[in-house]
Amino acid sequence: MVIENASKVYQTRSGQTHALDNLNATINEGEFVCVVGPSGCGKTTLLWAMSGLHPLTSGRVLLDGTPVKGARPEIGMVFQEANLLPWRTIMQNIMFPFEIKGLKVEKYQSLIDHLLKTVDLSGFVNKYPRELSGGMQQRASLVRCLSFDPSVMLLDEPFGALDAFTRDEMNLLLLQLWSEQQKTIVFVTHSIPEALFMADRIMVMTPRPGRLAQEFVVDLPRPRTVEMQTTPYFVEATKDIKNLIYSRTQK
3-state secondary structure of 96: helix
pLDDT of amino acid 251? 61
Averaged pLDDT for residues 1-26: 93
Residues 153, 174 contacting (CB under 8 angstroms): no
Residues 218, 200 contacting (CB under 8 angstroms): yes
Per-residue pLDDT tens over the stretch 52-105: 999 999 999 999 999 999 888 899 999 988 999 999 999 999 999 888 888 889
- Residue type, position 76, single letter: G
3-state secondary structure of 83: coil
pLDDT of amino acid 169? 92
For 227, counting Cβ atoms within 10 Å of its Cβ (0-12 exposed, 13-18 middle, 19+ buried), the class is: exposed
DSSP 127: S
Per-residue pLDDT tens over the stretch 133-152: 999 999 999 999 999 999 99
pTM comes to: 0.94
Distance (Å, rounded) from C-alpha 73 to C-alpha 55? 17
- Map out the domains of the chain with their CATH numbers: 2-74+150-249 (3.40.50.300)
